[in-house]
């Protein structure tokens, strides 16, 4: 038997919010089953890596950390190493050849069976598993004011650069009643903000669709703020845009990945919209939701991207003026269509294009943040400011998802307060506390 007397587990997470929340669920399940979470890999019976394969860099980081554990495993042969998440799913049993000191692998569609995998000594749990959407999973959340809530799993879009449909499988929506029950529980525990998670939340197919779900959550007593991530531009309907404007608890922020400003590149990526169509959605959002903050994702140097395509992206950034972006160089992912496309660009060109994109966006973000100077905004206090790391320095987020640092006592953590913005900077805002009745 693998670990019948297993007591402690340690989880190291790589990647996105989806992975962070999967780790909260894995911890929730294992704790419910009587195991204890360890603070470090030194002091544990099982080490779980929750991995990300969205870009090569994240994958390299994981393998180098894993490599460092070889010696520990030799010293303590009873130590078990489990790999979960996207790399586990994508590499499957080939991973054992690359790293023989791994004991078991479990894909993201099988987290609900993590305890079984441990108890029954299952070496690989990688099936396409729709049951994950039907199973209520306890989550061990670290934060006490904000919570992630999965509303769907997987993706049907097959963007040509992306591994998600292969690692997380086809789209599966969680039943609405199960989501409402979880959020009600969070409200009862004092959580004020929820972020609905899914690869493409706009295509949620539970009863009433995504707009219906937002409407019901908006009525939930105790919950003050609702966010969601990620939205696919093609599935952002006018009805949803109107709802974001009308439902007072839905925050005035949307993350809407554009990826490129060039129609040629968008078509090679299989994104399903043109730049004009994307821009029309942005215009509608800005008309229906005054002051909405819009953030986006951009890929620099997609295979076959010409200098003109890149210029289209630069012009789009100037025209749309996002509040912020996540931009990355194209990273070839095995098994995707883009990995076998012609016209791969040299690293130097990708780096140059990325730095032009980031440099321009920094100026736009700064301008947007400066425009908030003098405004009074509602802030949910998240923590003591880690940079200052002392009493009297707080950090929180506006409804537009901007980080604000300001002075105040630690008893305000998890409370909504009103803050006047004194200074807008590139990555955050500096404010002064007005009162605690945001």
**8 A C-beta contact, residue 418 and residue 427:** no
Distance between CA 255 and CA 295 in Å, rounded? 5
Shortest Å distance, C-beta 200 to ligand SF4: 5
Q: Which of 74, 136, 158, 205 binds ligand SF4 (CB under 6 A)?
A: 158
Least distance in angstroms from the C-beta of 234 to ligand SF4: 9
- Residue number, 66 or 155, with CB nearest to ligand SF4: 155
Q: Which residue has the tokens 């993201």?
A: 108
Which residue, 257 or 424, has its beta carbon nearer to ligand SF4? 257
Is the CB of residue 138 less than 8 Å from the CB of residue 28?
yes
Strands (E), 137-181: 146-150, 152-153, 172-173
Residue with tokens 């008893």: 411
102 binds ligand SF4 (CB under 6 A): no
Q: In this structure, how many other beta carbons lie within 10 angstroms of the beta carbon of residue 165?
A: 17
Q: CB-wise, 9 or 153, nearer to ligand SF4?
A: 153
What the block records as the tokens of 51 is 């991995």
* In the block, residue with structure tokens 């054992």: 96
> Whole-number minimum distance, CB 410 to ligand SF4, in Å?
38
Q: Which is nearer to ligand SF4, 232 or 368 (CB)?
A: 232
Q: What are the structure tokens assigned to 290, written together?
A: 């005054």
Report the side by side order of strands in the sheet with 293-300: 253-255, 293-300, 324-329
Least spacing, CB of residue 395 vs ligand SF4, in Å: 29
Q: Which CB, 151 or 159, lies closer to ligand SF4?
A: 159
> Cβ 331 to ligand SF4, closest distance in Å?
12
Query: In terms of Cα–Cα distance, which of 89, 101, 119 is closest to 41?
Result: 101
Q: Compare residues 62 and 273 and give the one whose CB is closer to ligand SF4.
A: 273
Interacting positions 226-245 with ligand SF4 (CB under 6 A): 232
Nearer to ligand SF4, 157 or 178 (CB): 157
Regarding 155 and contact with ligand SF4 (CB under 6 A), the answer is yes
Nearest approach, Cβ of residue 405 and ligand SF4 (Å) = 32
Encoded one letter per residue, x for contact with ligand SF4 by CB under 6 A and - for no contact, window 163-202 reads -xx---------------------------------xx--
Which residue from 35, 86, 159, 327 is in contact with ligand SF4, where contact means CB under 6 A? 159
**Which of these segments, 160-168, 299-307, 312-320, 326-334, binds ligand SF4 (CB under 6 A)?**
160-168
d(CA 191, CA 171): 28
The number of beta carbons lying within 10 Å of the beta carbon of residue 312 is 19
Using the minimum distance from each CB to ligand SF4, give the nearer residue, 250 or 256. 256
Q: How far is the CB of 160 from ligand SF4 (least distance, A)?
A: 9
Binding piece for ligand SF4, criterion CB under 6 A, among 162-170, 202-210, 211-219, 426-434: 162-170
Q: Which residue has the tokens 């399903």?
A: 272
DSSP state of 373: T
- Angstrom distance (rounded) from CA 182 to CA 176: 10
| Residues 13, 15: Cα–Cα separation, whole Å | 7
Closest to ligand SF4 by CB, 135 or 157: 157
Cα–Cα distance measured from residue 42 to residue 51, given in angstroms and rounded to the nearest whole number: 20
Burial class from Cβ neighbours inside 10 Å (0-12, 13-18, 19+) for residue 301 reads buried
- Give the number of residues in contact with ligand SF4, rule: CB under 6 A: 10
Query: Contact residues for ligand SF4 (CB under 6 A)?
Result: 155, 157-159, 162, 164-165, 199-200, 232
């Amino acid at each position: 038997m693998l670990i019948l007397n297993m007591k402690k587990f340690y989880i190291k997470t790589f990647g996105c919010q989806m992975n962070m929340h999967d780790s909260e669920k894995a911890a929730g399940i294992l704790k419910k089953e009587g195991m204890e979470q360890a603070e470090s890999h030194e002091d544990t019976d099982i080490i779980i890596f929750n991995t990300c394969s969205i870009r090569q860099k994240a994958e390299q980081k994981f393998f180098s950390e894993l490599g460092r554990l070889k010696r520990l495993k030799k010293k303590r042969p009873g130590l078990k190493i489990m790999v979960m998440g996207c790399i586990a799913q994508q590499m499957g049993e080939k991973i054992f050849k690359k790293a023989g000191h791994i004991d078991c692998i479990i894909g993201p569609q099988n987290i609900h069976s993590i305890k079984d995998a441990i108890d029954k000594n299952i070496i690989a749990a990688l099936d396409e598993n729709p049951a994950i959407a039907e199973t209520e999973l306890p989550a061990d959340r670290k934060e006490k004011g904000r919570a992630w809530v999965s509303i769907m799993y997987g993706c049907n879009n097959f963007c040509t650069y992306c591994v998600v449909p292969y690692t997380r499988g086809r789209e599966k929506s969680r039943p609405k009643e199960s989501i409402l029950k979880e959020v009600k529980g969070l409200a009862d525990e004092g959580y004020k903000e929820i972020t609905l998670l899914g690869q493409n939340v706009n295509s949620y197919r539970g009863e009433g669709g995504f707009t219906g779900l937002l409407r019901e959550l908006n009525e939930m007593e105790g919950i003050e703020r609702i966010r969601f991530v990620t939205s696919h531009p093609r599935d952002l309907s006018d009805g949803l845009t109107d709802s974001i404007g009308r439902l007072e608890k839905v925050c005035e922020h949307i993350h809407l990945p554009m990826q490129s400003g060039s129609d040629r590149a968008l078509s090679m990526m299989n994104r399903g919209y043109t730049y004009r169509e994307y821009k029309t959605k942005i215009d509608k959002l800005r008309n229906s939701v005054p002051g909405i903050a819009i953030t986006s994702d951009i890929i620099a140097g997609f295979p076959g991207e010409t200098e003109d395509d890149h210029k289209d992206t630069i012009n789009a950034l100037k025209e749309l003026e996002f509040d912020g972006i996540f931009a990355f160089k194209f990273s070839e992912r095995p098994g995707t269509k883009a990995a076998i496309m012609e016209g791969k660009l040299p690293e130097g060109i990708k780096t140059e294009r990325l730095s032009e994109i980031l440099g321009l966006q920094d100026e736009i973000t700064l301008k947007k943040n400066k425009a908030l100077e003098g405004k009074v905004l509602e802030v949910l206090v998240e923590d003591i400011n880690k940079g200052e790391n002392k009493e009297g320095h707080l950090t929180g987020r506006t409804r537009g998802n901007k980080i604000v640092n300001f002075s105040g006592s630690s008893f305000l953590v998890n409370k909504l307060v009103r803050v006047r913005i004194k200074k807008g900077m590139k990555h955050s805002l500096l404010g002064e506390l007005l009162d605690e009745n945001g």
